[in-house]
Amino acid sequence: MVDLSKSPERIAGMFDAIARRYDFLNHLLSVGIDSRWRGRAIASLALTGGERVLDVCTGTGDLAIAALRARPPAARVVGVDFAGAMLRVGQGKLDRARLAGRASLVRGDALRIPVGDGLVDAVTMAFGIRNVEDAAGACAEVRRVLRSGGRLAILEFAVPTTPGMGALYRWYLRHVLPRVGRLISRHGAAYSYLPASIDAFTAPQEFVKFLQQRGFVDVVPVSLTFGSVILYTARNP
């Protein structure tokens, strides 16, 4: 049975261990569609060019970079993650893209975001909320740092509900993804945990209710790629 415990030390250590191959595996296992998912998330923020964006669980910074490359782009992006090796990979990408002057990657916890109250215009999170030990606490922190009327965009995996597609996707999660992940990353535990955590995560409509109960309004789930990914958009009232 896969260990789904989510202590910060365990999750950070797991992602640090796979940081070097993380981006390659993301692109490979999603057949390159992951960039489209991030594009949809940033588009949902309707940026005008002056926004300060916070990317929680930023990992190697792909969503932060997408916000900086949007047209119009975010004025400033801060990415927060507790996995130091992932942040180092992300910083290298920012440096190579000559975007480091408009972004800061900070080591920190989603439950104690190192940003003042109401200081950001939008918050993003890609495939991180299911790995947070206290999702309710993370949502409270997001609301704290998000200005009144600010926007939230969360990308997270889901199991498709289309007849036949759900079974096929679960077969992929249980047999294909772990084998490919272990082969390339050389880290068995991470690529056992990651697919199992997808299967165990809250169903989309339940997560919509979860966000509403935490005070967000205008919560909308957008199904992407046959329902294997959900973009949750919301607003801080």
Tokens at 158, concatenated = 């889901």
pLDDT of residue 60: 97
Residue spans per domain, the chain:
8-158+202-235
| Residue 156 backbone phi and psi in degrees, to 5 | -150, 150
pLDDT at position 168: 92
**pLDDT of 118:** 98
In 3D space, the residue among 103, 28, 18 whose CA is nearest the CA of residue 58 turns out to be 103
Q: Where are the alpha helices (DSSP H) in 83-220?
A: 84-96, 135-145, 165-171, 177-185, 190-200, 204-213
Mean pLDDT by 10 residues, the chain (237 residues): 88 92 88 94 98 98 98 98 97 97 96 97 97 96 98 97 89 88 80 89 97 98 96 98
Nearest to 153 by CA among 50, 76, 38, 75: 38
Q: How far is CA 22 from the centre of its chain?
A: 13
φ/ψ region of 158 (left if φ > 0, alpha if ψ in -120 to 50, else beta) reads beta
Q: What is 8-158+202-235's CATH superfamily?
A: Vaccinia Virus protein VP39 (3.40.50.150)
Give pLDDT, residue 48. Answer: 97
- Single pTM value for the model: 0.95
